Amino acid sequence: MSEKMIAAARAFAKGKKFTFPLMQVKDLKIFIDLAKEERQKIIIYS
């Protein structure tokens, strides 16, 4: 996964504005899973 995709997933998880990166369909699941992980981290550490 590229750095842009990781940064976008983190921004998405935090509810910030971001540019949705171009990706292949197979990368979409990874993107969503990473966003979920980041969201859980935010909830746990809040």
pTM of the model: 0.67
List all residues 6 or more positions away from 11 whose beta carbon is below 8 Å from its beta carbon: 17, 18
**C-alpha span between 13 and 6 (Å, rounded):** 11
The answer to whether the beta carbons of residues 1 and 34 sit under 8 Å apart is yes
Per-residue pLDDT tens, the chain, 46 aa: give them.
788 888 888 898 888 888 877 888 888 899 899 999 999 998 888 7
The answer to whether the beta carbons of residues 21 and 4 sit under 8 Å apart is yes
Domain residue ranges of the chain, discontinuous segments joined by +: 3-45
